[in-house]
Structure 1
Amino acid sequence: MATRVDDCGSWQTVWLEPEAVVRHHTGLSTLSPPDWDDLEHADHRIPPVEPDGRWSRRWEAALGVALAHLVAATEGCPVLLPAGPVAELLRHAIGRYLPAGPQARSVALAGPGIRPSHPRPDILLVPRHPLTGAPWRSDEGTVVPLDSGVWAYLARPDETSPLPATGVLPEGVLRDDYPLPPHPRYPLTPHHRAFQDTLARLPAVRSPQLLRYRDMCR
């Protein structure tokens, strides 16, 4: 009645056979779809590191897709990342796919709950809707969509400081109830197949400059 794809190198999906499945209404009330404001909830964030200390596969795939959109938006030109989690987590990955140099285009997070930054950035990293996949829209610049759980973590990362919010710990007091965050042995690297497949499907890839970029990536 269905075919399921569940492999480490592919998106998880289920294809139903139309002639073998009959749709019936259950009579139960349908839940309202998640709203953009739901992305601000702490339980929507996806940590970049798994409990075993490895990078999240969802982050690697989402970063590959977002990088393809970023390359298309910049036509392979350098970018300038904002300070904070975006630069700390994405600098290495973006450096593998975009060159460094002058006249870099500015990048910033945008989305629900984030005030517009000034001066206006050239490119905005915005979340995809968790249900429809549609990107959050903005009239302030070029939009690059990002997985909503990844975006939520970048916009509001977990609290990581073992120090109190105000003041300092008393002298001689050590904290042993606050585990150190896991650190993978290598920098975060995007899924290259996700990057290539996404870039190949973007209309902008047909421009001469991006065709040269794809040949260089090969």
Structure 2
Amino acid sequence: MLLDRFRNDFDLTDGQVSDAAEFVGLTPLQEVRARFGGCTFRDGLYRIHGESSAAVAKAWVDDAFPEFKGRFEIFGFDWLGRQFAADRARGEASDPEVMLIEPGAGEALEIPVPFSKFHDEELVDYSDEALAVNFYAQWRSQSPGSLGFDQCAGYQVPLFLGGKDQVENLELSDIEVYWGIMGQLRAQAREVGLGNPIAGIDLS
């Protein structure tokens, strides 16, 4: 699974791709993680998890979206800190369909594409829909430089609390801190109901 179209369209800006022959026989997700784990593309537009970072991201997603706990296998993330996951509840067992988990919107959105076609088709042919490429270009014009593997452009006021989906509402964030805050805010928003005030959160 060489992902030729993806590799031609997405410049590698950090990390190392492995083309070792021993990856033959792995599932599509296992092969992508083995070949591209830890790699950053287009200065942080899209990144692929290695085993350790995928496990950490899974814990964030399980905490923030407990209704889906145990259902996802996280494999990648974008510049907004949104996590992409293989959804065990949809598609074939060896090639599940993809889910996009959005901390700033407080939503998990189904992408009706099997994992094996996600990088070469969805990210190449529908890059703006999948990765908000045009929004990324607007943000980069005001915040030049590559995103570190532990960084994202996070919403200062999340969309599920009335924040605006615009560059002025974004700030450079540590992705782990961002997910922790968004998870706590989402939990409180779900408890009190939409439209009701949130008294505060404990960030300790």
The answer, yes or no, to whether TM exceeds 0.5 is no
TM-score scaled to structure 2, two decimals? 0.27
TM-score scaled to structure 1, two decimals? 0.26
Specify which structure has the higher proportion of helix: 2
If you compute each CA radius of gyration, which structure gives the higher value, 1 or 2? 1
Structure with more relative contact order (C-alpha pairs < 8 Å, separation 6 or more): 1
Specify which structure has the higher proportion of strand: 2
